[in-house]
């Protein structure tokens, strides 16, 4: 139930943020998912790292191939999925002796972030994502009577 609430609030926050400031928060569902994991900074960092790697590949592929419109979105989600899987696997192999928590949130979140980074810039997208995610997290805490929220395993 917490995921549905977070996504719903993320949709509202994304829409409000886009209309008020003019920057998208990395896609409509991204702030809701990020808000659930704000207490796990290594997973947020892993997600941003996968998005940045995807962004770099998108820029490189844009110089080599004709990538625009729907192709850009599909390629960014696909590359985000691949880099997310690699980062999650790499963290388990590199740190096999202990659990680091360095992983990626969801399957499409890095790709959506990268897609919006190509459209409006890295700093703008990440700043909008962080602000919207904090607003969603605060709203979730208020709605649940100040209780600490445990992030669900995706």
C-alpha 88, offset from chain centre: 15
Given a cut of 80, whether residue 152 has pLDDT beyond it is no
Distance between CA 125 and CA 104 in Å, rounded? 18
Q: What are phi and psi of 73, to 5 degrees?
A: -65, -45
Average pLDDT over residues 131-152: 83
Distance between CA 120 and CA 129 in Å, rounded? 12
- pLDDT at residue number 95: 52
Q: What are phi and psi of 153, to 5 degrees?
A: -85, 125
Given a cut of 80, whether residue 153 has pLDDT beyond it is no
- pLDDT at residue number 27: 86
- pLDDT at residue number 97: 46
For residue range 26-61, list pLDDT tens digits in order: 888 999 999 999 999 999 999 999 999 999 999 998
C-alpha 15, offset from chain centre: 16
């Amino acid at each position: 139930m917490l995921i549905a609430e977070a996504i719903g609030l993320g949709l509202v926050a994304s829409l409000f943020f886009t209309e008020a400031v003019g920057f998208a928060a990395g896609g409509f569902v991204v702030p809701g998912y990020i808000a659930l994991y704000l207490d796990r900074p290594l997973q947020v960092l892993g997600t941003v790292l996968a998005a940045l790697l995807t962004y770099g590949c998108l820029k490189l592929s844009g110089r080599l191939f004709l990538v625009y419109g729907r192709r850009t979105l599909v390629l960014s989600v696909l590359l985000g999925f691949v880099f997310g899987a690699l980062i999650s696997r790499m963290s388990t192999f590199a740190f096999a002796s202990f659990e680091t928590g360095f992983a990626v949130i969801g399957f499409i979140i890095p790709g959506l972030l990268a897609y919006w980074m190509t459209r409006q810039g890295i700093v703008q997208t990440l700043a909008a994502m962080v602000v919207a995610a904090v607003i969603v997290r605060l709203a979730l805490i208020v709605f649940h009577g100040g209780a600490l929220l445990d992030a669900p395993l995706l």
